[in-house]
Amino acid sequence: MDEIEKTEEIEGTEEPEQAEVLVQEATPAEAPAPVAAAAPPSIIDGQEHAVDPRSVTVARIVAILPILAIALVPLLGVTLGWALGGIPSGVYLALLGGWLVLFGAAISFAYKWPELHHRHLRYRVDETGVRIRRGVWWRQVISIPTSRVQHTDVSQGPVQRSFELATLTVFTAGTEGASISLEGLEHGVAKRLRDHLLPDHHADAV
């Protein structure tokens, strides 16, 4: 018999094409455009402004601390004299009562007065200069034209510095030694006001 050769066709299996992987390089996110800081409003607006309300706290601290220091001296002296037998108890109690009345009145005044002073202190800035209105019992209006300003001084005491406040002192021509102070200003406002009064920036160092 003829051998029948069976030829097996083995179909080649094609390997599946590997999917093309698109690798997209990560691009760093675009940084947002920097936002320009908004310029502070012009100090020359012709409107009346109160000084910084933090000046009330500063004035209270500056007034009360010396009262405490001064009041403790006579209290300790009288108490020591009574303890050593040099002052009778009746006299000591009378002196102590008087001390309490005076001390309470002084502390009350030192606490309330700065708020009244702040309530009646206003300033206005225009192209010609600065106008200050102040006074609790006796009202006073002071106009400072830029043409009469000789020099200025922006100063800060230790308590003012901790609250970022300052006092602007303006020295004017026409009267020897004439100076006007405006306390309780935010430090930046005081410097801008100084620059307005002296456009050529011939101001004293802060």
79-130 tens-digit pLDDT:
998 998 888 999 999 999 999 999 999 999 999 999 999 999 999 999 889 9
Place 12 in a pLDDT band, splitting at 50, 70 and 90: very low
- State the average pLDDT for the chain: 81
Place 40 in a pLDDT band, splitting at 50, 70 and 90: low
Whole-angstrom distance, CA of residue 147 vs CA of residue 130: 11
Is the overall model pTM greater than 0.85, yes or no?
no
150 or 40, higher pLDDT: 150
Least Cα distance to 202 among 146, 164, 157, 126 occurs for 146
Residue 28 in this model has a pLDDT that exceeds 70: no
- Residue 85: the pLDDT is 84
- Residue 21: the pLDDT is 44
Query: Are 123 and 48 a contacting pair, CB within 8 Å?
Result: yes
Whole-angstrom distance, CA of residue 137 vs CA of residue 164: 29
124-181 tens-digit pLDDT:
999 889 999 999 999 999 999 988 888 899 999 999 999 999 999 999 876 555 889 9
Residue 202 in this model has a pLDDT that exceeds 50: no
| Other Cβ atoms within 10 Å of 55 Cβ, number | 22
Place 66 in a pLDDT band, splitting at 50, 70 and 90: very high
- Residue 151: the pLDDT is 87
Residue 194 in this model has a pLDDT that exceeds 50: yes
Give the mean model confidence (pLDDT) for residues 38-67: 88
Give the mean model confidence (pLDDT) for residues 24-28: 48
Write out the chain in H/E/C secondary structure. Answer: CCCCCCCCCCCCCCCCCCCCCCCCCCCCCCCCCCCCCCCCCCCCCCCEEECCCHHHHHHHHHHHHHHHHHHHHHHHHHHHHHHCCCCCHHHHHHHHHHHHHHHHHHHHHHHHHHHHHHHCCEEEEECCEEEEEECCCCCEEEEEEHHHEEEEEEECCHHHHHCCEEEEEEEECCCCCCEEEEEEEEHHHHHHHHHHHCCCCCCCCC
